[in-house]
């Protein structure tokens, strides 16, 4: 049997139907595709210059983890984006997808992903020693934004994975890869998970890990779809079922396992938005009798509802606010009123 590892990918349109074949041909034109050898050289850690690949991977991964940790602690989105651009973790993840499609061993790529994850989480744990004892992690937007993932995060990850796989497959669109690296969140949630673990915030760490896992699965799934459509499975890639159905079944089960908490968190986030709107409405009515008084912000953090107000003199009795919130937000929610002067008033719990 001839070695097809150097051959250009190919597709069989007869089994796919003219419409689907035409769509694939327009997105992945055969004359623009990289060869199988080029793809393996790019994505397989066990091919080509192994020592050089390992050196580059670990150097860039550790540096990106440190940059991401610095960005998280300074709450700097620009710094975190810089870490995402240089992070090399998506390469072995796409290597797994390519290996599955080609029905080759993916052990080297899988080991790089697992060991890389552990290293990045370790960096986050080390940096957690810099967090002050009473620091509220959720007050940091870089942490809060990565510990409460939703369904749309998964949708965005799948779309990003498709874009990344197409860019890797085509020689003429590789310039979009930096943008793909920014769009997919891999190293930052692992750093956040490490920071939260270091502060013994287990639920927050779990949320960040779920975000990473959903992004990882989305990359693998999208990569498999695109690489199979491009014909990188060799002879099998030209026929339907090039990727074993068992693989898709396993991925489907994993997707379902990730989708359930994402959907539940999305629903919970929507409910929090409803409760926050109701609380803001009642707080405005609570201040209606005070000239010049207004509600500046209502938000929920650490299971506590914070109501920020601007009011001349002392605010009205907080008991009136709690009474207004009765039946409009869940019982037992702690409410804190914060004035523009920096005064903090613990109003009590709703429904009490």
Quote the pLDDT of residue 37. 86
The answer to whether 37 and 6 have CB atoms below 8 angstroms apart is yes
The answer to whether 222 and 183 have CB atoms below 8 angstroms apart is no
The sign one gets for the Cα dihedral 133, 136, 141, 144 is positive
Quote the pLDDT of residue 188. 93
Quote the pLDDT of residue 343. 85
Quote the pLDDT of residue 241. 44
**Rounded Cα–Cα distance for residues 331 and 315 (Å):** 23
Quote the pLDDT of residue 11. 54
The tens place of each residue's pLDDT in the chain, 352 residues long, gives 334 445 556 554 445 566 667 777 788 888 888 888 888 888 888 887 888 889 999 999 999 999 999 999 888 999 999 999 898 999 999 999 988 888 888 888 999 999 999 999 999 999 998 877 777 777 788 888 888 888 888 889 899 989 989 988 888 887 677 777 777 889 999 999 999 999 888 888 999 999 999 999 989 988 988 888 888 876 544 444 455 667 677 777 887 888 888 888 888 888 988 999 999 999 999 998 888 889 999 988 767 889 999 988 888 888 999 999 988 888 888 899 998 888 888 888 887 6
Quote the pLDDT of residue 92. 92
The sign one gets for the Cα dihedral 111, 114, 120, 122 is negative
């Amino acid at each position: 049997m001839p070695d097809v590892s150097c051959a250009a990918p190919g597709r069989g349109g007869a089994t796919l139907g003219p419409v689907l074949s035409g769509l694939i041909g327009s997105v992945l034109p055969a004359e623009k595709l990289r060869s199988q050898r080029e793809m393996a050289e790019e994505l397989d850690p066990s091919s080509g210059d192994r020592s050089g690949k390992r050196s580059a991977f670990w150097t860039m991964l550790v540096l990106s983890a440190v940059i991401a940790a610095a960005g998280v602690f300074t709450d700097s989105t620009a710094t975190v984006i810089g870490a995402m651009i240089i992070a090399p973790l998506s390469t072995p993840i796409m290597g797994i997808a390519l290996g599955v499609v080609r029905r080759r061993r993916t052990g080297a790529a899988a080991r790089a992903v697992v060991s890389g994850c552990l290293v990045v989480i370790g960096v986050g744990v080390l940096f957690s020693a810099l967090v002050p004892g009473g620091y509220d992690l959720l007050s940091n937007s870089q942490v809060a934004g990565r510990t409460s993932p939703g369904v749309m995060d998964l949708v965005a990850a799948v779309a990003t994975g498709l874009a990344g796989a197409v860019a890797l497959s085509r020689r003429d669109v590789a310039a979009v890869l930096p943008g793909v690296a920014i769009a997919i969140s891999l190293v930052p949630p692992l750093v956040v998970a490490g920071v939260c673990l270091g502060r013994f915030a287990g639920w927050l760490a779990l949320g960040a890990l779920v975000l990473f896992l959903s992004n990882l699965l989305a990359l693998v799934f999208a990569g498999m779809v695109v690489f199979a459509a491009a014909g990188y499975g060799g002879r099998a890639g030209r026929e339907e079922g090039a990727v074993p159905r068992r693989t898709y079944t396993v991925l489907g089960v994993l997707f379902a396992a990730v989708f359930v908490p994402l959907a539940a968190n999305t629903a919970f986030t929507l409910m929090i938005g409803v409760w926050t709107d109701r609380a803001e409405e009642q707080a405005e009515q609570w201040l209606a009798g005070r000239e010049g008084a207004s509600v500046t912000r209502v938000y929920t953090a650490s299971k506590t509802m914070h109501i920020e107000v601007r009011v001349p003199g002392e605010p009205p009795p907080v008991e009136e606010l709690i009474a207004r919130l009765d039946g409009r937000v869940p019982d037992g929610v702690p409410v804190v009123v914060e004035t523009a002067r920096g005064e903090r008033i613990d109003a009590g719990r709703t429904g009490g």
